[in-house]
Copies of this chain bind each other. A is one copy, B any other.
Amino acid sequence: MVKQERAAHTRRALVRAAGEEFAHGGYKPVSLSRISKRAGVSYGGLHYHFAGKEDLARAVVAEAAAILRDEVCAATGSAPGDGGRGALARLVESTYRLVDRIDRDAVVRAGFTLTLAASSPDLGEDLCERWRCWVEEILAEAARAQELGAGIRGADVATAVVATTVGFEALSVRDPAWLKPDAVARFWRLILPGITSPETAAALHADRRPPRPRGTAVQRLTLSR
């Protein structure tokens, strides 16, 4: 059992080290020897867990997908005691969570970097597609709950939300300020008044409770100008 735990620990260290390398350099320029050195794991130890670089890249993207699913997109369906928070409030919160995770977590950042790099191998997952599907789902929920204004199409909101969040990730390579909560707040301050009723926008405005902890702190949306 202790041996199994040690193996799991080594595997996690390798995935994290690979994430840090891929997040900085993309797929092609990264070498296995740099990853094993960064993880403090021998080359043989790396090969015990992973067949090669492609295998490691897939593990990084799979780990990023798990974080996306469990910690960013978990907020579908109002849980009991959740105060009946609406779908739009959960969408807004998830964009803050996602951008914050990309900023702070090398594995999540590398997952997107690898997904968006033309030179990546087959990764088994498409993080952007997963994110898009979840955004469309929660917007459909918002539409059913009549949280969207008359004539507002969920698909249009989804296009803007997905393209903007992915754009923040891409732009942050040159300027990290694009991953700060301020950028997300500017986007929602522009979008929300146009897509929902004044009541819902006001409720989101008033909702200044800190989010339930999920590993990283996120800032609440403020609609004040």
Residue ranges of A at the interface with B (Cβ–Cβ < 8 Å): 23-26, 28-29, 113, 115-119, 126, 128-129, 151-153, 155-157, 159-160, 162-171, 173-175, 178, 183, 186-187, 189-191, 193-195, 225
In the assembled complex, which residues on chain B have CB atoms less than 8 Å from the CB atom of A186? 153, 155-156, 159-160
The reply to whether A113 and B118 form a contact with Cβ atoms under 8 Å apart is yes
In the assembled complex, which residues on chain B have CB atoms less than 8 Å from the CB atom of A189? 153, 156
Cβ-defined partner of A163 (8 Å) among B25, B117, B118, B183: B183
The reply to whether A171 and B118 form a contact with Cβ atoms under 8 Å apart is no
Q: A185 CB to closest chain B CB, in angstroms? A: 9
Q: Given the interface contacts A28-B26, A174-B128, does A163 sit within 8 Å of B187 by beta carbon?
A: yes
Q: A198 CB to closest chain B CB, in angstroms? A: 13
In the assembled complex, which residues on chain B have CB atoms less than 8 Å from the CB atom of A157? 190
- Residue among A24, A118, A167, A187 facing the most chain B CB atoms (10 A cut-off): A167
7 closest A-B pairs (Cβ-Cβ)? A194-B194, A167-B167, A163-B167, A156-B190, A170-B170, A166-B167, A159-B186
